[in-house]
Amino acid sequence: MVKELLNFTSMSIPKIDNLEICKVTDDILLVHQKEVPFFFSCCDGLLILPKEGRNKTLIILDLNIEPKYIEKIDTIYGPVSNYVCTHAHIDHTSHVYAWEQLGAKIHAPDPEANFLLNLHNFYRGFGFDESIEYSSIEKFGELNGFHKCNYVNSFKPGETLKFENFIVDTIPFSGHSKAHIGFLIPQDKVFHISCLGFDKPEPGIDGFGPWYGFRDASISQYIKDINQAESIFLSNAKFLTSSHSYIINHPNTHPFEYMRKKIMVNQVKVDNVLKTSKFLTKSEDEAVNQLLKLDIFFPKKKLKDFLLEIYSLWESWIIRKHIQRSEHFNK
Ligand SMILES: [Zn+2]
């Protein structure tokens, strides 16, 4: 058994079609599914390979990829014992059931752990029920391949989790969603900031940046989270990984500058519209609706049906949060 365990660390990285697998350390790998069924169906995550004295079985941190790839990883590195989810947005939950079917115990942070058990919980918990029919969320779940898990162990954001001798600190980053956490693996100095908003597919190509298109997301908390993540990275980690980007080595602070800048640029986009005097007499709701029509964040012209409803709801929350922070809006 010991011999087998040692083999993993010296083994070259397997080639699996449509997966990009990168070594963060000798025995921690970052996995990315390249082509995905839909924009919100997958997220990158970490494989904690079996290692003598640490963990005899595979541990997965937030790797939501299609079941056919989950099976391939399990064949090479399994059996899998534990899976930790970072929050319950659908790009982090849709295929978790496939890890559970392979025998993994599923862990997820409160208050979103039960969203993995039932799409209704996801629907109500994220406030979709305020303006969207459940059938739209069902279609959205289907589009992203969502299937429910049977049992989820919940933990509090901020708790330290221990599986055999593998220890991972969960770091609350609640600006993105109430449950949202990052992972700090102190022994290996790996820091995974999950969905905080460093989402560049490669250096030189921007993504959307921090995402706060939900009722319970908060821009001011987001800025605190980014600053806290930066200080954790600089003082406690060597490697930075995230759900939708590449590996960053200490002490590169580009991810944090990128995220802060994205929020600032979004604020300027909203401010520039609000500056025009026609908004002076409008209510907040009227201003949100007016800005929504301008497509300043998402081009919605080609969207139809449930996707139009969902994108409009997300964008309305992004706009509302910036209106509330704007010095150009008459409160
Ligand atoms: Zn998310």
pLDDT at 1: 46
Q: How far is the CA of 16 from the centre of ligand 1 (A)?
A: 26
Q: Is the residue at 212 inside a domain? A: yes
Residue 297 lies in a domain: no
Distance 179 CA to ligand 1 centre (A): 10
pLDDT per residue, tens digit, the chain (331 aa), is 444 555 676 678 889 999 999 999 999 999 999 999 898 999 999 999 999 999 999 999 999 999 999 999 999 999 999 999 999 999 999 999 999 999 999 999 999 999 999 999 999 999 999 999 999 999 999 999 999 999 999 999 999 999 999 999 999 999 999 999 999 999 999 999 999 999 999 999 999 999 999 999 999 999 999 999 999 999 999 999 999 999 999 999 999 999 999 999 999 999 999 988 676 678 899 999 999 999 999 988 888 899 999 999 999 999 999 999 998 887 5
H-helix or E-strand spanning residue 271: helix 254-274
Are 49 and 12 spatial neighbours (Cβ–Cβ below 8 Å)?
no
Is 80 a member of any domain? yes
Q: What is the CATH number of the domain that holds 201?
A: 3.60.15.10
CA of 269 to the centre of ligand 1 (A): 23
How many angstroms is it from 260 CA to the middle of ligand 1?
Answer: 17
| Gap from CA of 330 to ligand 1 centroid (Å) | 31
User: How remote is the CA of residue 120 from the centroid of ligand 1, in Å?
Assistant: 18
> Measured in angstroms, how far is the CA atom of residue 24 from the centroid of ligand 1?
22
The two three-digit tokens of residue 230, written as one number: 């930066």
Q: What is the residue range of 240's domain? A: 2-253
Q: Please tell me the distance between residue 93's alpha carbon and the centre of ligand 1 in angstroms.
A: 10
Separation of CA 176 and ligand 1 centre (Å): 7
Ligand 1 mean position, distance from CA 87 (Å): 7
The single-letter DSSP state of residue 81 is E
With vertex at residue 189, the alpha carbon angle to CA 183 and CA 195, rounded to the nearest 5 degrees, is 30
What pLDDT does 301 receive?
86
Give one DSSP letter per residue of 198-263, joined into a string. ---SBTTB----S---STT--HHHHHHHHHHHHHHHHHH-SEEE-TTS--EETT--HHHHHHHHHH
**C-alpha 99 – ligand 1 centre gap (Å):** 19
Q: How many angstroms is it from 290 CA to the middle of ligand 1? A: 26
201: its two tokens: 């597919």
- C-alpha count within 13 angstroms, C-beta hemisphere, residue 14: 14
d(C-alpha 225, C-alpha 206), whole Å: 20
Q: Is residue 24 part of a domain?
A: yes
Tokens of 165: 């001798």
Decide if 156 is inside a domain: yes
**C-alpha 211 – ligand 1 centre gap (Å):** 7
* 201 CA from centroid of ligand 1 (Å): 16
Ligand 1 centroid, distance to 113 Cα (angstroms): 14
The residues near 84 (Cβ < 8 Å, ≥ 6 apart) are: 59, 60, 61, 62, 107, 108, 161, 168, 170, 183
Q: How far is the CA of 12 from the centre of ligand 1 (A)?
A: 31
* Predicted pLDDT of residue 328: 86
| Residue 299 belongs to some domain of the structure | no
- Alpha-carbon distance 56 to 306, whole Å? 45
**Count of domains observed in the chain:** 1
Q: How close is the Cα of 10 to the center of ligand 1, in Å?
A: 34
Q: How far apart are CA 145 and CA 167, in angstroms?
A: 31
Those residues with Cβ within 8 angstroms of residue 233's Cβ, 6 or more apart along the chain or in another chain: 191, 193, 240, 250, 251, 253, 256
What DSSP designation does 138 have?
H
For residue 279, being part of any structural domain is answered with no
26 vs 264: CA distance, rounded Å: 38
Ligand 1 mean position, distance from CA 161 (Å): 21
The residues, any chain, with a CB within 8 Å of residue 260's CB and separated by 6 or more, are 223, 226
Cα of 26 vs centre of ligand 1, distance in Å, is 28
Q: How many whole angstroms from 98 Cα to the centroid of ligand 1? A: 20
Position 292 in a domain = no
Residue 188 alpha carbon to ligand 1 centre in Å? 25
